[in-house]
């Protein structure tokens, strides 16, 4: 059975699976084109097999025993790389595996809007990529880092948990640090980053108050900071950041954010109408004077209308983006109903 799991890891590359799920007394499952499929030809995963697989992965990072806690790690098999989360459900261990395909994405290959390049022309400030889990935020951030690496002469510092795409130095130097291996937390990585001569800092995810505060400080002190949040829409993203802080600090954070935020890109993945695959719909907000003022005054409800009137500057609401995909027959209307009516997560 253990051999079959390794065969499934190899198959995931050949057949472009995005994720693999393993749990005791269940058949392995894979995610393909956004949908989960049970591997019906494979046997149920036994406790012994799963534990052997977990111990094999842990050994690759120097851990001899499974302590029963949630564990994040990166794992390689036959030169293919995977991001792994080992967790417990109903008292038994389970494994979720993200397949990390080796090719570093580009803005062009991902067919991302041209406005992305203009957004990346900023020399400082904060750029956020947001969306639900599994929507491709990490891939979009990697494509943005790759564009900077290919086009500008800088020091790009990345903090990732774990490292997904391995960059080669092109025009820039790219220093990639993995949380848990090279540094213990995002906050500690950010704290030391300003002594490492960065021009650009990419923070895989802003998870807590301290990380968000340090990212804002870095953006204010002349660095370009890229990061992600699990939010949908620019207004919700701004509210989420501010709400992380205690009430007596929120006015100060609004001011910081109004001065340092450059853009919020929200994305969701929708199934294509014809054939297999998924396509991204985007909300793109570029901070102008009106939006900066709305952030500072706490009037985030005005942001959507500012995005709608900023179409000529490359802005677009998620609803407008989805409508375009429907009009061009890229997606089916039935697959996009929740996004057209507004979505909360």
Helices (H), the chain: 2-14, 47-59, 115-119, 137-151, 186-193, 209-220, 234-244, 247-260, 289-297, 303-309, 318-327, 337-340
Q: Tens digits of per-residue pLDDT, 227-247? A: 999 999 999 999 999 999 999
Mean pLDDT, rounded, for 293-318: 95
Ordered by where they begin, the domains of the chain are: 2-100 (3.30.450.90), 115-340 (3.40.50.300)
Which value, in Å, is the radius of gyration of the alpha carbons in the chain? 21
Q: Are 246 and 221 in contact (CB under 8 A)?
A: no
The Cβ-side half-sphere exposure at 120, using a 13 Å CA radius, reads: 27
Q: Tens digits of per-residue pLDDT, 244-263? A: 999 999 999 999 999 999 99
47-59 vs 2-14: helix axis angle to the nearest 10?
Answer: 60
Mean of the per-residue pLDDT values for the chain?
93
Mean pLDDT, rounded, for 116-121: 98
Does the pLDDT value for residue 344 go beyond 70? no
Return all residues near 303 (Cβ < 8 A) that are at least 6 apart. Answer: 234, 235, 238, 285, 291, 294, 295
pLDDT for position 16: 86
Using a cut of 0.85, tell me whether the model's pTM lies above it. Answer: yes
| CA gap 311, 315 in Å, rounded | 5
Q: What is the percentage of the chain residues whose pLDDT exceeds 70?
A: 99
């Amino acid at each position: 059975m253990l051999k079959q799991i390794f065969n499934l890891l190899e198959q995931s590359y050949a057949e472009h699976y995005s994720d693999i799920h393993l749990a005791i007394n269940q058949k392995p499952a894979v995610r393909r084109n956004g949908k989960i499929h049970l591997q019906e030809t494979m046997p149920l995963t036994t406790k012994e097999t799963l534990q052997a697989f977990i111990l094999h992965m842990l050994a690759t990072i120097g851990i001899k025993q499974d302590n029963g806690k949630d564990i994040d790690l990166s794992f390689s098999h036959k030169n293919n790389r995977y991001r792994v989360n080992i967790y417990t459900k109903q008292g038994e261990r389970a494994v979720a595996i993200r397949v990390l395909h080796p090719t570093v994405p580009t803005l062009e290959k991902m067919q991302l809007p041209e406005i992305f390049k203009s957004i990346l022309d900023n020399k400082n400030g904060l750029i956020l990529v947001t969306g639900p889990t599994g929507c491709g935020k990490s891939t979009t951030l990697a494509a943005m880092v790759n564009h900077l690496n290919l086009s500008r002469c800088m020091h790009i510092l990345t903090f990732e948990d774990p490292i997904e795409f391995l960059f080669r130095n092109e025009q820039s130097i790219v220093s990639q640090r993995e949380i848990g291996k090279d540094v213990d937390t995002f906050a500690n990585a950010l704290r030391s980053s300003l002594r490492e001569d960065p021009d650009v800092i990419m923070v895989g995810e802003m998870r807590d108050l301290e990380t968000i505060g340090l990212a804002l400080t870095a953006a204010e002190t002349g660095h370009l900071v890229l990061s992600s949040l699990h939010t949908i829409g620019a207004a919700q993203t701004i509210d989420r950041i501010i709400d992380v802080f205690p009430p007596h600090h929120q006015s100060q954070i609004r001011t910081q954010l109004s001065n340092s935020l450059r853009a919020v890109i929200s994305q969701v993945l929708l199934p294509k109408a014809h054939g297999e695959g998924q396509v991204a719909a985007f909300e793109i907000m570029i901070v102008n004077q009106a939006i900066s003022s709305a952030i500072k005054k706490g009037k985030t409800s005005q942001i959507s209308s500012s995005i709608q009137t900023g179409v000529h500057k490359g802005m677009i609401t998620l609803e407008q983006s989805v409508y375009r995909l429907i009009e061009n027959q890229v997606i089916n209307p039935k697959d996009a109903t929740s996004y057209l009516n507004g979505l909360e997560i």
